[in-house]
Each structure stands twice: as C-alpha cells, then as structure tokens.
Amino acid sequence: MTVRPVAKAGIVVAGYVAAVAVASLVLRVYIAATSGADRQTYGGMYAFGDSLLFLGVAGVAAIPATGAALFFLRSHRGFWRILSIGGLATAATAILASVLFLAMRATAGHGPLQSWAMLTPLRILVAPLLALFFLLAGLFAPTRSARLCLASAAAIEVVAFVAVAGTWWVSGR
C-alpha cells in the first residue's frame, strides 16, 4: 500500500500539532501547580523556565512525528547527505559555544568575544534536543556514512552540553 505525499504530510503535521498540544497542557498544569507569590515576583525567571519546559516537552512529544517524517524521507538520498553535513556543521557550533563559554568563564574576559560568549548558554541549552534529533535521524538514515555522521553529531552535542552543564552544576554547589 502506498501512501500519498499529501497523506504523509498530514500525518507529520498532525503529529506536530499533537506535540504542541501536549506541551501546552503540561505547561498549563505546571503553571497552575507553581502559581503563587514567587511566580509574580520573579516573572521573568518563571517565563524563561516555562519556555524551556514547553520546548523540552514539545521536543520529546514530537519524536513520533519526526520519526514518521524521517521514515518518509528515507528514500531521498540527497536529503540525507544534506542532513549529515548540516548535522556535523551544527555540532561544530556546539563545540565552538562550549569552548567559548569555558574560555570566557576561566578568564572572566572583557574582550570583543564577550558579547558572543553571552549567547553561548542559549546554544548549549538546545544541545540535548539536537542530540535527540540527530540520534533519531541516525536510526532512520539509509546509509552507513549518514548514520556515522549523525551519530557523531549527536555525541558532539552531548559532550558539549555535559561540559558546560558540569561547570554550572559545580559552580552552583
């Protein structure tokens, strides 16, 4: 049985809509459970945490839709070549961000790189979702070279995240 491209796209879009709905529901429950004076006083902090929670839940809930999309794209070799190269290029930014973050933290520098270093935590916070995506894509990749590239990109994302998160954890103690 062959599935029409429109039906494939509908399946994927429905999966992403369901993922957003699940993330919205989880966020509403979390906000209701944490409502109080602190939420009013530290609104910006809570908003940032809420956005991280939403993105994390949506990312995990979108795994079936992403898996379906990757399965449907399995026969398109050009897509996998571009995804493999793009994955490694994206992972290179994780290396750059973690090195820049750790270097600025060690030197407490005030140079031209300081403004870029301030953005590195945002890049590092996205690393777990990117690692999950690259790992999932590697499972669906049709060629050995694409699987190796995507697995390498996932590993790089994990190492970059652990390196920076480890310093956050140690400094918080």
Distance of alpha carbon 41 from alpha carbon 24, whole angstroms: 23
Helix axis angle, 120-140 relative to 77-107, nearest 10°? 150
3-class secondary-structure state, position 128: helix
Reference 95, options 28, 161, 31; nearest CA is: 161
pLDDT tens digits for the chain (173 residues)? Answer: 688 999 999 999 999 999 999 999 999 999 999 888 888 888 889 999 999 999 999 999 999 999 999 999 999 999 999 999 999 999 999 999 999 888 887 776 666 777 777 888 899 999 999 999 999 999 999 999 999 999 999 999 999 999 999 988 888 76
First CA to last CA across the chain, in angstroms?
A: 58
Domains of the chain, residue spans? 1-72, 76-173
